[in-house]
Structures are given as C-alpha cells and as structure tokens.
Amino acid sequence: MRKQTPVMFKIGMATLALAGLVVTAGVPAGAHHAFGAEFDPNRPVVLRGPVVKVEWVNPHTWIHVEVTGDDGDKMVWMVEGGTPNTLLRRGLSRDTIPVGATIVVDGYQSKDRSARANGRDVTFEDGRKFFMGSSGTGAPRDGRDVTEPE
C-alpha cells in the first residue's frame, strides 16, 4: 500500500478493531482480478500523456494514454481500472473522462510485456483525482450512513 498521510481522530476501543477492518477492506489495492498474477513488480512505470480512448467495458475499464518516449516516438499504453458499474451508478460515464486531457498514471507493466499497466493511481496532470465520488450508493439519505443528516 502506498504511503499516506495519517488521519488523527478519537476513537473507542471497540470501533478501533472494526476500523482496522475498514482499512483493510478499503485499500486502493482492492482488485479481484489477481493483479498480482497479471502485473510485474519489477517493471514499475509512470506514464504521462493525453487520453486517446476509453474502453468502458467489463470486467475492467481500460484507459488508453499516448506516451511520447525520449526519442520522440509515440506509443499508446492501456491502463487497467475498476468496474464501470460503480461509476455508472454515480452518474459518471466514459464521457466524463475527457479524451485529449493529459493524465499521469503510476503502476506496474503487465507480465506479458505488452503496453499495459495497472492504474494504481490515475490523476490529471495537476495531481487531482479523476473522480471524487463518495463510495456510497449515490442515493440521497438512503439510511446507510449514520452520519448523514436526518
């Protein structure tokens, strides 16, 4: 898991133990498709360039980004994200990802040594995250969140 700024808060003993599980369940490393089998830890990569295409497909979204090498040659890399269903449910679509926008991706190249990588962190060029959706259902006041106002 990448290094993150610690969050300070007061918390009861019982919740602390549960909170430990929340942390585990919510790590950005939550991938079912055995990313450990698909990507190579010895081939870290950072990609910068414009989005040229978005494959809004199951089981995983693929964002295509054009990378210009030191020699000026251009190559399109495919970046693996999560399921589109989650974003679709929040009212987002592939059109929300602007073709032409410059993005920064860090991840690991696939073991098959094709131009594919996992989108470990996908941001705009200024570092902002692509989407800022809450992880709720998107439904207002659905009773799932005890902190939401009555």
Partner 1 sequence: MHSRITTCLGALAVVGLVVAPIVTAQDGDIPRTASGRPDLSGTYDVSTLTPMQRPSDLAEKMSLTDEEAAELAETARLRREERNAPSDPNRGAPPQGGDGSAGAAGNVGGYNTFWIDNGTGAFKVDGQWRTSILIDPPDGRYPSRTEANRAAQRAAREARGGGVRRFTNDGTAYWLEAGLDAPGPYDNMEQRPYAERCILTFSSTSGPPMLPALYNNHKRIVQTEDTVMILIEMVHDARIVRMNAEHDPPEIKKWLGDSIGWWEGDTLVVETTNFVDRPAFSQGTGNMKVTERFRLESADSLIYTFTVEDPTVWTAPFTGEYAWPRSPNKVFEYACHEANYALEGIMKGARLLEADFRGEEPEGVVNPTR
Contacting partner 1 within 88-117 (CB under 8 A): 88-89, 104, 106-116
Complete DSSP assignment for 104-138: EEEEEEETT-SSEEE-SEEEETTS-BS----SS-S
SS3 21: helix
Angle at alpha carbon of residue 75, lines to 61 and 79, rounded to 5°: 20
Measured from the CB atom, the residue of 51 and 116 that comes closer to partner 1 is: 116
Asked if 118 contacts 39 with a C-beta cutoff of 8 angstroms, the reply is yes
> Of residues 95, 128, 141, 149, which one binds partner 1 by CB under 8 A?
128
User: Closest separation between CB of residue 97 and partner 1, Å?
Assistant: 12
Under the binding rule (CB under 8 A), the answer on residue 149 touching partner 1 is: no
Under the binding rule (CB under 8 A), the answer on residue 67 touching partner 1 is: yes
> Of residues 25, 100, 141, 149, which one binds partner 1 by CB under 8 A?
25
Under the binding rule (CB under 8 A), the answer on residue 141 touching partner 1 is: no
Q: What whole-number distance in Å separates Cα of residue 123 and Cα of residue 131? A: 9
Under the binding rule (CB under 8 A), the answer on residue 54 touching partner 1 is: no
Measured from the CB atom, the residue of 51 and 107 that comes closer to partner 1 is: 107
> Of residues 96, 144, 149, 150, which one binds partner 1 by CB under 8 A?
144
Under the binding rule (CB under 8 A), the answer on residue 52 touching partner 1 is: no
Pick out residues in 28-47 that bind partner 1 (CB under 8 A): 28-47
- Phi/psi for 61 (5° steps) reads -75, 145
